[in-house]
């Protein structure tokens, strides 16, 4: 495909619309409604989200991770604290999430600050995972350079034998984070690029202000 073909790729969105009167006062409730619709629509991995972090001097990076829970406190995910994202979060807790559910022509953007979950909550989730995934978290020095895949697989096999019939201990460098939202935007694709964008801004500890943005 050449550049001309790429620039002509486009789709006219007509699946739905989004009106202020039809949205919840609380963005977490609105997210729950949309998330449940994405699950019902059998979107592939509806909990897949882009997590954008940056260094203390503003150099950004982004990757797709999986949402593992959400409530009024925020949006939860788990990772290696020594990974690139973990190191960036330690230096700069401001981050953003993006969900894109293409079949529903919807996007959700969330901005806020990230904090670590408690050790107890991280322990509980770690041991709820398949044993193979637990071993993988121990075996992989995430984001660090390694010699080759063979070395990684040998390490995994060694640990599998070591922990056979035993509980895999959660590494101290692995656990959960919660992103506490300050801004949440719901985007619904519309015809002729006149998309609907409803933005929630944190007004105070318990309240949100809801506004419409131009597409």
Mean pLDDT (10-residue bins), the chain, 215 residues: 80 93 97 98 98 96 98 97 97 98 98 98 97 95 92 94 95 97 98 97 93 97
30 half-sphere exposure, CB direction, 13 A CA radius:
25
Structure letter (DSSP) for residue 205: S
Question: Which one of the listed residues 84, 149, 193, 212 is annotated catalytic?
Answer: 193
Q: Which distant-in-sequence residues (6+ apart) come within 8 Å of 41 by Cβ?
A: 101, 103, 104
Q: What is the pTM of this model?
A: 0.94
- Residue 106 bears catalytic tag: no
């Amino acid at each position: 495909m050449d550049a001309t073909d790429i620039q002509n790729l486009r789709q006219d969105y007509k699946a739905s619309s989004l009106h202020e009167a039809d949205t919840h006062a609380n963005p977490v409730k609105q997210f729950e409604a949309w998330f449940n619709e994405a699950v019902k629509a059998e979107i592939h991995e509806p909990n897949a989200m882009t997590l954008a972090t940056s260094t203390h001097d503003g150099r950004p990076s982004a990757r797709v991770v999986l949402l593992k829970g959400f409530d009024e406190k925020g949006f939860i995910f788990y990772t290696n604290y020594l990974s690139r994202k973990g190191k960036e979060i330690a230096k700069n807790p401001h981050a953003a999430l993006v969900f894109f559910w293409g079949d529903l022509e919807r996007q959700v953007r969330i901005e806020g600050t990230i904090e670590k979950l408690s050790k107890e909550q991280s322990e509980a989730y770690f041991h709820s995972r398949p044993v193979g995934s637990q071993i993988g978290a121990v075996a992989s020095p995430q984001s660090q350079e390694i010699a080759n895949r063979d070395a990684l697989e040998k390490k995994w096999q060694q640990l599998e034998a070591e922990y056979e019939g035993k509980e895999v201990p959660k590494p101290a460098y692995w656990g959960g984070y919660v992103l506490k939202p300050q801004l949440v935007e719901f985007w619904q694709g519309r015809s002729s690029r006149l998309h609907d964008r409803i933005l929630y801004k944190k007004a105070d500890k318990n309240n949100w202000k809801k506004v419409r943005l131009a597409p």
